[in-house]
Amino acid sequence: MTSLDDLPLRDDLRGKKPYGAPQAHVRVELNVNENTHPVPDEVVADIVARVSQSLITINRYPDREFSPLRAALAAYLGHGLNAGNIWAANGSNEVIQHLLQAFGGPGRSVLGFPPTYSMYPLLASGTGTTWLTAQRDSDFVISAQTARQAVAVAQPSLTFFCAPNNPTGTPVELEAIAAAYDETDGIVFVDEAYIEFAPEGTLSALTLLPGRPRLVVSRTMSKAFAFAGARVGYLAADPAVIDALRLVRLPYHLSALTQAAAEGALAHADLMLSMVKDIRVQRDRIVTELERMGFTPYPSQANFVLFGNVTDPHQVFERLLAQGIIIRDVGIPHHLRVTAGTEAETSELLDAIAQLAPR
């Protein structure tokens, strides 16, 4: 049987593994930071109507510039943005891929601060961009001084911040992002996939965009919008950055059905985001209860909680899985990560994990 070793694979891809969390479909799925609340019925009805309408002309290519969707995304973000500041793709992973295709590549590098989103080095590898790393401060924080020094030493083509960070839930202070920007002539990218779960009043990196043409801020509809299956990610940046991304995108990369569905969801943004407050409550409940049990959860501004003091993460994972509950081993020794689900899912998780708590 043919294996990868038998194929003329690129040398820099040999020995690598594709991204992928376990896809076991069980009763309580809390492993990939999905929004476990369903899309409200009235929103589903509107999306279905819009998608049905788009099917009438499905024999034609979709709007290559997806102008109405970009305008709707700009309106949602606010901050004085317009359609010219917005780009979108099939999930924020493709948005990041476009960014690396345009500004990375052979002979160029991207700097990250692990532990962070595990797709960053894979996307870097896929685009021939060298992945560089810098250390965080204690408790997974990145101070302005740490950010500035890391960029000064590495001199990367791109610098990536995940804010709040996955898998730790840690915020990134705007001062750190601004310090990194001032230290480089390259692109500074801020991934705000989980920003809607941060405390109300939290300032977004979008506030830093004016006067910073090399700053890029991305979002996703997968998390707070409960739209993971639709695959819609987007970013905001100077219009010149958007022009650069046009150079590398595939033609008609966003289908007419995707555009219609996303526009429908955005038309009901307030209702779609109505479950965010409950998710925050369940997240904070998980932190409180895990700490009471003797674990060491980290404060989180995302829809998940990373917790330590787990003697045998693999054993805990398997014992929970045997009870129909799946969480995530993110590869940090003695740590696990769990998504904040509905109140019922959270209760079932906490009841099960209490039996596995440190004694």
pLDDT in the model for residue 357: 78
pLDDT tens digit string along 200-235? 999 999 999 999 999 999 999 999 999 999 999 999
Class of domain 21-37+275-354: alpha beta
- Boundaries of every domain in the chain: 21-37+275-354, 41-269
Q: Are 169 and 302 in contact (CB under 8 A)?
A: yes
Strand partners, 190: 161, 217
pLDDT at 20 over 90: no
Correct CATH for 41-269 of 3.40.640.10, 3.30.1280.10, 3.30.230.10, 1.10.260.30: 3.40.640.10
**What's the average model confidence in pLDDT over 301-327?**
96
DSSP string, 193-249: TTGGGSPTTPPPGGGG-TT-TTEEEEEESSSTTS-GGG--EEEE--HHHHHHHHTTS
Cα separation of 80 and 59, whole Å? Answer: 36
Question: 215-220 and 233-236 as β-strands: parallel, antiparallel, unpaired?
Answer: antiparallel
pLDDT tens digit string along 27-81? 999 999 999 999 999 999 999 999 999 999 999 999 999 999 999 999 999 999 9
**What's the average model confidence in pLDDT over 159-187?**
98
- 79 closest CA partner among 181, 213, 209: 209
The CB density around residue 63, as the number of other CB atoms within 10 Å, is 14
Cα separation of 295 and 291, whole Å? Answer: 5
